[in-house]
A and B are shown apart, each in its own frame.
Chain A
């Protein structure tokens, strides 16, 4: 049974019951009042008749005539005839004996629909008793008419009320229906659906809170599926990263041992085995770094920027020379707070990426400066840059903006993931700005040492 059905039935039942009970009570009261006034009227009329008879009897007695039954009957008859026409029956008993009307004549009116009163005549005629019987069939008829009218009203008011209630309740419970429909679509998987309800009542409040809840759920679901997607991508990528070098190593080794190769092909196969081994080694070490970093807290210390830059420059000197790229360092702060080894790893990784992205003859800049209370380490190149889409994925493990190119360098695609983990370990913010064709800048926002 639906909620609006229940309300409709409950209200309808209550209303009709209340209406009927009050109407019945009013009718009963009116019946009572009518009866009372009829009785009063009857009593006063009876008294009037009794007085008249008394006076008649008095005057008869004054004339010296004895009061016989016949005389009594004739007196009574003169009144009786008159009142009978008005629907009033009279009876006169002398010492309990009926003298008017004659026991055989004058039909007595039906007992239920009449008022019957008996009283003795005043002194000295107390042995004479006057009975008054008044027809009140009209009253009953009137009451019955009212009853019929009441039933008719019930028959008409009931359905009219039901229809009006139906329309009203439908209107009032519309928001519920809307809420229910929205929850159903959300349960069906469409998390972006919202309740479109702007009333100020409880329903409006419910809708508002519901929408808030739906937003939070949607956000969570999106986050979770993004995370799951990233994980899946990482596993796929790892599988790919492993399969490709393994396939070529296995294949070239097979070729070297079993095939009739010429000298040139032998050299080629050997050098592929070597380069793919290097690639696997890089991958293994980077993965190891990542996993170590996940379980290790950085040892925060006062890191002299000049010394850090010198160490990084020294590490990358050979690679820079090989690629014909100049490293330009510029520092306006003395020290930062961080783990010296991790920060060096961070910068080395970024510089290697910068080298791969840059054309021979260009410059990679390594900067340290102060900005809004934070120390910033920045690596900036004027290389190929990345699109917005590429930048979005840049920090994901195994993501390569330019796969063909970075594989030539034996790059595992883990450099930036490592950088992000180092930043996380320092609770530092990392920012990437890249414009295709213009270059990339990556900034790490660290605590200033003197703070």
Chain B
């Protein structure tokens, strides 16, 4: 997975983001000020930067100007939803932005989109005897190909991208089937059952009481 630099001066927010990154398998570094961020970037190979606009020392925009030659994708985190800030961010080459307060799943989704756009997503995912190849949309168990329907594969991908986080049935419908799908949440249950059976993941895909499902993988 990717190595992400989190530049955020608020300790709680910084910890919140990094805890989530850790859950879904990313590695991270933290910086609390602009100069610190620039210093870290000089020393570490970084795939993505989550950058707060309001920073002590140098603000986020100045940091962006200074690190532009590195061509590292940037997602701006801003407490202001001012249009001017967003436009300035995009002009400076930001890949996306997210406004506080944000939902974790939204942040993770945006991170995935930006990573995919920059070809930074891993080609495959390995767990137990299961190997998932995203590009080929193939799944193997013990090297044997397993036949998954398109929808099952979508669901599996969503679970993997948000692993260790419980996803409600509604959220899964939205992410794997699309916003406009008018199906029943029981459809999700049926597909989850299929996945568990086909991959032998009865214990990996947990039912979280009152919430939904969670793919549990060692972090």
- Interface residues, chain A, CB within 8 Å of chain B? 236, 239-240, 243-248, 250-252, 254-255, 257-261, 265, 268-269, 272, 275-276, 403-404, 407-408
Contact = CB atoms under 8 A, between A and B. Distances in A.
Contacts of B167: 258
Contact of A248 (B10, B32, B80, B103): B10
A268 B32 contact: no
B110 to A, nearest CB: 15
B54 interface: yes
B88 interface: no
Contact of B16 (A240, A255, A275): A255
Given A239-B80, A243-B79, A404-B32, A258 B208 contact: yes
B15 A268 contact: yes
B214 A258 contact: yes
B164 A260 contact: yes
Contact of B101 (A246, A269, A272, A403): A246
- With a 10 A CB-CB cut-off, give which of B20, B100, B216 has the most chain A CB atoms: B100
13 contacts: A244-B13, A247-B13, A247-B100, A248-B10, A251-B20, A251-B104, A257-B211, A260-B165, A260-B216, A268-B19, A269-B16, A272-B15, A272-B16
Contacts of B102: 247, 251
A239 B12 CA distance: 17
Nearest to B218: A260
B19 A255 contact: yes
- Range class of the B interface residue count: 20 to 34
Given A243-B100, A247-B101, A276 B19 contact: no
Interface string B29-54: 00010000000000000000000001
Interface in B9-24: 9-13, 15-16, 19-20, 23
Contacts of B101: 243, 246-247, 250-251
A243 B16 CA distance: 14
Contacts of A251: 13, 16, 20, 101-104
Contacts of B10: 244, 248, 407
B145 interface: no
B166 interface: yes
Interface string B185-216: 00000000000000000000010100100101
A259 B13 CA distance: 17
A244 B165 CA distance: 22
A404 B33 CA distance: 10
Nearest to B212: A258
Contacts, number: 83
Given A247-B13, A247-B102, A265-B19, 20 more contacts: A240-B54, A243-B100, A244-B100, A245-B12, A247-B101, A248-B16, A250-B101, A251-B102, A252-B16, A255-B19, A258-B166, A258-B208, A259-B19, A259-B214, A260-B164, A268-B15, A269-B16, A272-B16, A275-B12, A276-B12
Contact of A255 (B56, B79, B104, B208): B104
Nearest to A251: B16
Nearest to A259: B165
Given A236-B80, A244-B79, A258-B208, A403 B9 contact: yes
Contacts of B211: 257-258
Contacts of A260: 23, 164-166, 206, 214, 216
Interface in B148-189: 164-167
A259 B23 CA distance: 8
A272 B17 CA distance: 13
B61 to A, nearest CB: 16
For the complex of A and B, 4 pairs with smallest distance between CB atoms: A258-B166, A247-B101, A248-B12, A251-B16
A255 B21 CA distance: 12
B104 A254 contact: yes
